[in-house]
Amino acid sequence: MYLWKVDSLVEDFRSGKLSQKEEFKYMLLFTVLMVLVSDPALHIGLSYNYYDTLGTALILGISILGIFDCYKINSSGDDKDFIVRVMCIGLPVVIRVLAVMSPVLIVGGILEAEFIFPESLDEETVETTPIQVVLISITIAVYYWYLSIKIKAVSSNNA
């Protein structure tokens, strides 16, 4: 796995030396790093609480399991084009998941603000709540679940 030598990686792609397993490793590491750098602790000036850490840990765990599940499904099928499938199929999947989950997230946010944590509206700094952690974690889990179904469909059609 190359983390600095981009030209060497490009050459491996050109010569067809990169296996699906190697592609999976790149995808997994990329996902882990993106989740970690999106952690609110790294953003200066934003409030940070226990639920931010919990949310990051859950999202990281769900993402790792989701990517691994998609990889297993793809490799047990035709074992082709893992990253291409995850990226290309993942785009319409995320749009559909957001379309379905947005009303749930909005209603959850309204209920949370009005009934569960109404004091959060009075505070100067907005902090992450357990309801937000749960709703976001569910949304990400639904994304990987739906993506894995579509990865299975495409990998078994070509097997």
Q: How confident is the model at residue 159 (pLDDT cuts 50, 70, 90)?
A: very low
How many domains are contained in the chain?
A: 1
Residue 11 resides in a domain: no
With a cut of 80, say whether residue 13 has pLDDT above it: no
Look up residue 15 and give its two tokens. 């010569």
Confidence (pTM)? 0.80
The parent domain of residue 113 ranges over 21-157
Calculate the CA 141 to chain-centre distance: 8
Give the model's pLDDT for residue 100.
94
Q: Which amino acid is at 140?
A: I
Residue 81 backbone zone (phi > 0: left; psi -120 to 50: alpha; other: beta): left
Give the model's pLDDT for residue 6.
77
Q: Answer yes or no: are the C-beta atoms of 51 and 129 closer than 8 Å.
A: yes
Mean pLDDT of 4-32: 84
pLDDT, tens only, 80-123: 889 889 988 988 999 999 999 999 999 988 888 777 766 655 66
- Contacts of 151-157 with C-beta under 8 Å, sequence gap 24+, read 151/70, 151/73, 151/74, 151/77, 151/85, 151/86, 151/89, 152/73, 152/77, 154/77, 154/85, 154/89, 155/73, 155/74, 155/76, 155/77, 155/78, 155/79, 155/80, 155/85, 156/77, 156/78
